[in-house]
Amino acid sequence: MSVAATLPPAADVRADFPGMVTGDGAPWHYLDTAATAQKPQAVIDAMTRALGVDYATVHRGVYGRSAQMTLGYEAARRRVAEFIGAKGEDEVVFVRGATEAINLVAASWGMAQIGEGDRIVLSMLEHHSNIVPWQMVAERTGAQIDVCPLTEDGRIDLGALEAMMTPRTRLVALAHVSNVLGSVLDARAAADIAHSVGAKLLLDGCQAAPRMALDMAALGCDFYALSGHKLYGPTGIGVLWAREEILDAMPPWQGGGAMIDRVTFEKTTYAPPPQRFEAGTPIITEAIALHAAIDYVAALGPDRLFAHEAGLARQLRDELRALNSVTLFGPEESAGIVSFAIEGVHPHDLGTILDEENVAIRAGHHCAQPLMDHLGVPATARASFGLYSDENDIAALLRGIERTQRIFG
């Protein structure tokens, strides 16, 4: 059976995505969904309506359209909470993206709870957004950063993680799914390990949220960050989820309108979460478009998406393995992401030639330079699948690789 059989026919799904053709109408083989997903027409339409006939500010207007927009904005928050299995909508904070979500935790919770001599544990495969904010906390507080190694096939080594725990470990921050290798973390096991010494667990869920069913209680984490634009929604919006009691104890991060209870020159009191962490005019239209994106993904089913994309990744790995000049990175089973290198061909050269064949991949360090150092390469080529991907994309990629090998001899 075709791996694409887990979803409706690819042509039917692709028809929902106006960006999946070139300027002259030819199919565009988009294999860079791990960087950002293409947008279905339903999301584009929701954004257009929100910016057009429905547009108004939220929360403070007494006129009808503002009230309706407020209902739409808060409905998006409830939809996110439902989608990720949160206990309630008050645990959902809208931010500009996952990078901002992690920085919010670092600046608010981290600076209040992490001190000199405390330890922060990261892994070798983290995205820079889950490294640099914690380095900044460590520099300011005198905390130490420990780096968990990987297994031979590129997974976070949970045995090593457990051995690294100390009474001074305050936070473990890990990728739920690697943006380079596609390896999937056993999040519940990681949570149990962190909690065994009283540490909190933060998960970077950017690559998991678009293709995995989420349940915060089942995962057992304390913070979860995700990005809207990787979830087939717009740029400029992301989500921070945190346990209600943790959010309630966290100090504000940014000051301004909307996040206050009462302001006087003598003293300001703050709104409860999530509004405490949403200073200024909210991310209104983006939230409404994210709601539409979640509805689209949920209708197809995250479990089906994972099976579809993992199947395509498995098929591509099998094809690439047959080429003697190709080195594959990461585990055999991955969440729709395949990183590889071709002997004698820089990934940027490969990407340029593939572009001439209407194939789009990512070439570079993927904001994971420590992982590149660990792998012993300056960069990799990365093909990442989405819900609109099918075997035709793999065939086009392989044709482009064959042409590249002929060019480079």
The domain locations on the chain are 3-30+301-408, 46-298
Residue 5 clears pLDDT 50, i.e. is over it: no
At residue 7, the pLDDT reads: 63
Active-site residues: which are they?
Answer: 367
Can you tell me whether residue 364 is helix, strand or coil?
strand
At residue 10, the pLDDT reads: 59
> What 8-state DSSP symbol labels residue 264?
-
pLDDT bin (cut points 50, 70, 90) of residue 409 is confident
Task: Give me the chain's average pLDDT, please.
Answer: 96
Query: Could you tell me if 199 and 172 are in contact, meaning their C-beta atoms sit under 8 angstroms apart?
Result: yes
**Which class is domain 46-298?**
alpha beta
At residue 8, the pLDDT reads: 65
46-298 shares the fold of 3-30+301-408? no
Question: pLDDT digit string (tens) for 241-265?
Answer: 999 999 999 999 999 999 999 999 9
Can you tell me whether residue 94 is helix, strand or coil?
strand
At residue 186, the pLDDT reads: 98
Closest CA to 203 of 189, 217, 218, 219: 219
At residue 2, the pLDDT reads: 44
- Asked if CATH classification 3.90.1150.10 holds for the domain at 3-30+301-408, the reply, yes or no, is yes
Question: How far is it, in rounded angstroms, from Cα 280 to Cα 256?
Answer: 6
Question: How far is it, in rounded angstroms, from Cα 204 to Cα 376?
Answer: 24
| Burial zone of 23 (CB within 10 Å; 0-12 exposed, 13-18 middle, 19+ buried) | exposed
Question: pLDDT digit string (tens) for 198-228?
Answer: 999 999 999 999 999 999 999 999 999 999 9
Residue 129 clears pLDDT 80, i.e. is over it: yes
